Amino acid sequence: MLTYTIRRLILAIPTLLFISFVIFLIVKLSPSDPTAGLPLTIPPEVREQIRESLGVNDPVVVQYFKWLKLMVWDEPLHFIEGATGWQVAPDGPRIISYQTRSPVMDLIVQRMPQTLWVVGTSYIVGILIALPLGIISAYKQYSVFDQVGTFISMVGFSVPTFFTGVLFIVIFAVTLGWFPSVYDTTHEVTDWDSFVVQLKQIIMPVMVLGLYNASQISRYLRASMLDNLNQDYVRTARAKGLGEKTVVLVHVLKNSMIPVVTVIALNVPAVFGGAIITEQVFKVNGIGQLLIIAIQSGDVPVVQTVSFIFAVLIVLFSLIADILYGVLDPRIRYD
C-alpha cells in the first residue's frame, strides 16, 4: 500500500504540471483583457500602461514559468510563515491579482472560511439526509416512501440551484422575513446569540446545496443497497437467524458503502471549490465567487492559481478514494 501511494504521488507531479500548463494556455489564449471592464473614459494609452505594469505583455512562456516558480516555491514558504511565524518567506514578488493588486494566496485564505462553512456544512447535511433516504428507499423498494424519495431526489437533482436559491429567498426572506438574503462574511460566532445569527444566514444556502448533494448521494446508496440486498450472503445472514436490523445496517450497509464512500471522497474537492452559483445568489463571496469574478475581469493569476489548487485537490482525493477502496474492500489489494 505504501509503495503504491508513493508511486501515485510521484506520478501526480507530471500530471499536475501538465494540467497547470493547459489551464494557463486556455486562460491566456482566450480573448480577455484586464482593462476591458474599465470605463471607456479611460484612454487607450493609460490602458496600455496598466497592462504593461501588470506584466500582461510578457511572452506567454515567461509568464508561465514566473508563475510556476512562485506557485511551487515562494507561495508555500509564505504559507508556512503565515501559519507558524517562522521567518522563511523570501522577499520579492508574489502572485499578484490583476484586480486587487494584492497576493492571490491572501485572497484565497480570506475566502476559505465562508466557503468551508457554507459548502462544507451543506455536504455534511447532504450526507446525513442521503443515508436514511437511500437505505429505506432500497429496503422498501417501490413503496410510497421510495416513490416520494425518488421524486424529491429527482427534483433536487434536476432543478438548478439558481432557481431553488431565488425561490428560497422569495419565500423565506421576502415573504416570511425569517432569514437574511445577504450573507454577512464578517460575522463572527462568539456566543449563543451570534451562533443563532450565523445559523439563520447559513440555513438557506446550506439547504439549497444540501438538497442537491443529498439527491445525488441517496441515488448511489439506493442502487448499491439494492445490488447487495439480493446477494447470497444476505440470505445466509437471515438464515442464521440475525435480526433485520443487523442484516441491513451492518452486513448490507457496510458493503453498500464501498462505492458510495468513493463518490463522497471524489466530491470533497468541490467543497473547497465553492459553489459559484449559490455563492452568487446568497452573496457568500467565497472561492466560487472569487473565481467567477476573476474570469469575468480577465484576472489570469487568480484563475490560474485557484484552478491549480482545485487540480491538486482532485488528484489528491482521487488517491484517497482509491486507498479507501482498498481499506474497505479486502478483495482489493494494490501490492
Partner 1 sequence: MKRYSLLLGATALALAPAAAMAERGSSGHLNIIYWQAPSTLNPYLSGGTKEVESSSLILESMARFDETGAMVPWLAESIPTVENGGVSADLTSITWTIADGITWSDGSALTASDFVFTWQYCTHPEGGCAQAANYDGVTAVEAVDDKTVRITFNAPTPFPYTAFVGSESPVIQAAQFAECLGARAPECTDANFGPIGTGPFKVDEFRPNDVIELSANPNFRFPDRPYFGTVTFKGGGDATSAARSVCETGEFDYAWNLQMDPTILAGMAAQGRCAIEVAFGTSVERIHLNQTNPDPALGDARSTVEGGPHPFLTNPIIGQAMSMAIDRALIVEIGYGAGGKPTCNVLPAPDLYASTANDGCLVQDIPGAIALLDGAGIVDTNGDGIREYNGVPLRVLYQTSTNAVRQDTQALIKQWWAEIGIDTELRNIDASVFFGGDPASPDTFQKFYADIEMYTNNFAGVDPQAYMASWLCGDMPRPQSQWQGSNIQRFCDPAYDALVAEMARTADLNERGRLAREMNDMLVRYSIIPLVHRGGVSARAATLEGHRMSDWDSELWNIMDWRRTQ
Interacting residue ranges for partner 1, rule: CB under 8 A: 31-33, 35-54, 96-97, 99-103, 106-107, 110-111, 166, 169, 173-174, 177, 180-182, 184-186, 280-281, 283-285, 289-290, 293, 296-298
| Closer residue to partner 1, CB minimum distance, 5 or 280 | 280
| Closer residue to partner 1, CB minimum distance, 50 or 263 | 50
Smallest distance from the beta carbon of 201 to partner 1, in angstroms? 10
| Closer residue to partner 1, CB minimum distance, 201 or 218 | 201
Smallest distance from the beta carbon of 92 to partner 1, in angstroms? 10
Smallest distance from the beta carbon of 67 to partner 1, in angstroms? 15
Smallest distance from the beta carbon of 180 to partner 1, in angstroms? 6
| Beta carbons within 10 angstroms of residue 228's beta carbon | 19
Smallest distance from the beta carbon of 113 to partner 1, in angstroms? 11
Q: Chain centroid to CA 138: how far? A: 28
Q: Which residues pair with 96 in a beta bridge?
A: 103
| Closer residue to partner 1, CB minimum distance, 66 or 238 | 66
Smallest distance from the beta carbon of 14 to partner 1, in angstroms? 31
| Closer residue to partner 1, CB minimum distance, 141 or 198 | 198
**CB contact at 8 A, 55 and 34:** no
* Residue bearing cell 440551484: 161
Cα atoms found within 13 Å of the Cα of residue 293, Cβ hemisphere only? 14
| Closer residue to partner 1, CB minimum distance, 102 or 147 | 102
Q: Where are the alpha helices (DSSP H) in the chain?
A: 2-29, 44-54, 60-69, 75-84, 104-115, 121-139, 144-158, 161-168, 192-229, 232-239, 244-246, 253-273, 276-282, 287-296, 300-328
The Cα–Cα gap between 266 and 93 comes to 35
What letter would DSSP give residue 103?
A: B
